[in-house]
Chains A and B, each alone.
Chain A
Amino acid sequence: MEYYQGPMIQTTAFEYRPAEEEAEKASNSYLISLVASVAGLPLPIVNLLATLFFYLGNKKGTYFVRWHCTQALLAQFSLLFMNSAGFWWTLSIIFGNQQLSNAYVSYMLTVIIFNLLEFLATIYTSIQTRKGKHVVWWFYGELANKLCKR
């Protein structure tokens, strides 16, 4: 089997071959964040909550499922901070006394770029994990390794 080895995403062999049902659940953990982020726009918390509930629901699942739920949750969690700042900044421009500025526009563009990268990575990972492949993200994968016990 050939694995994709990118700078930020690596597809590696998992320590056991996940069953069909495990692959489906692991894939859904990514899928749910995508669906929730589209449904919950512009609120930045909805996708995190959806992923968190999915994570809690699979807390007693197999190692493969828990590992991918953790990676998905961590990715959503880090987006929450940058998205929340953008959300409140936007609200203070609309309803408060903040002015539209160059700093705001460039911040929102940065947030869009990071969200887009995460969105693409999530789609890719969802497809691959559905096939039973183990996709490890840079930083988040290592953190999931540390947090997720066998």
Chain B
Amino acid sequence: MTTRISLQFIFIVLMFFGCWTILRQIDWMQQFSLNQLSAKSEKRLGDLYAKYFINTQMELNDPEIYAPVDSLLQTICSTNGINADHIKLHILENSQVNAFALPDGHMIVYSGLIAATKSEAELSGIIAHEVAHISERHVMEKLRRELGLTVLLSMTTGNGSETIRNTAKVFTSSAYDRDLEREADQKAIDYLIHARVPSEPMADFLERLAEKENPSMRHLEWINTHPDTRKRVEFIRNYSKGKNQAPRPILKEVTWLKLQKRLASL
């Protein structure tokens, strides 16, 4: 009798897993358009957040500022097989040293960050890091972790403007988790190498900000939101050791100088 009960139990377990395996053969994500739904939600969220930031700060569309930064972005994308059309660059007038990625490929770069970089390679490093967050789909994962799916759904279906305002700081003042940051750094270095942009200046920039970092310098948001900076600097230097090719400048010296001059006049 015990053997029969055991066999019946095994049969039930097999039936359960058999049923699950058979059902797995059907592409439910496609059937219920679940992938499309999440793509639509991401687009809506991206538009809402981008609109919020653009409405609260002045967007700089001046060609002397926008064009050089966009050239860096386009070069990083084109040399790494990334569809640049998917990334929407917004340069906002803000003295904070910060840049961040929003859902659906929106990238916000504050003028304060551009002004704080000393070379196109430093700025390229930061842009490459944010491109990595976008291409590796870290943004939605971060939002899901920070806010939960229910909040996200309520934002995409209902009137989410209030929630957008309350949750925008997720992007400006909190980091991705350590693994995602490490992945973004690693990807950024790969992107820079492919674009023949030296990666060392990215480490120099982080190091410079980390050195300056003290409680009175709260405007250095980008560094505050990316913890363990010294470890990151070390990682970037170790990872890129021996990989850099002969550098190929993206911008003309004069263009870079004009950009800095224009930012200084703001």
Q: Is the CB of A110 within 8 A of B20?
A: yes
Chain B residues with CB under 8 A of A102 = 24, 26-29
Q: Is the CB of A94 within 8 A of B149?
A: yes
Q: Is the CB of A139 within 8 A of B29?
A: no
- Known contacts A82-B16, A106-B24, A109-B23: does B34 contact A100 (CB below 8 Å)? yes
Q: Is A96 an interface residue (CB 8 A)?
A: yes
B-contacting residues, A106-147, CB 8 Å: 106-107, 109-110, 113-114, 138-139, 142-143, 145-146
Instruction: Classify the interface of chain B: helix, strand, loop or mixed.
Output: helix
Q: Is the interface on chain A under 10, 10 to 19, 20 to 34, or 35 or more residues?
A: 20 to 34
Inter-chain CA distance A139–B107, complex, in Å, is 59
Q: Is the CB of B1 within 8 A of A97?
A: no
Inter-chain CA distance A45–B244, complex, in Å, is 58
Residues of B within 8 A of A (CB): 1-2, 4-5, 8-9, 11-12, 16, 19-20, 23-24, 26-29, 32, 34, 38, 141, 144-145, 148-150
Q: Is the CB of A106 within 8 A of B23?
A: yes
The contact of B148 among A94, A106, A113, by CB within 8 Å, is A94
Chain B residues with CB under 8 A of A95 = 148-149
Instruction: Tally inter-chain residue pairs, CB-CB below 8 A.
Output: 56
Q: Is the CB of A96 within 8 A of B5?
A: no
Q: Is A12 an interface residue (CB 8 A)?
A: no
B-contacting residues, A32-52, CB 8 Å: none
Inter-chain CA distance A78–B12, complex, in Å, is 10
Q: Is A105 an interface residue (CB 8 A)?
A: yes
The contact of B5 among A97, A105, A146, by CB within 8 Å, is A146
Q: Is the CB of B23 within 8 A of A110?
A: yes
Q: Is the CB of A106 within 8 A of B1?
A: no
12 intermolecular pairs with C-beta atoms under 8 Å apart: A94-B149, A97-B144, A105-B28, A106-B24, A106-B26, A110-B19, A110-B23, A114-B16, A138-B8, A139-B8, A139-B11, A142-B8
Which of B8, B11, B24, B141: most chain A CB closer than 10 A?
A: B24
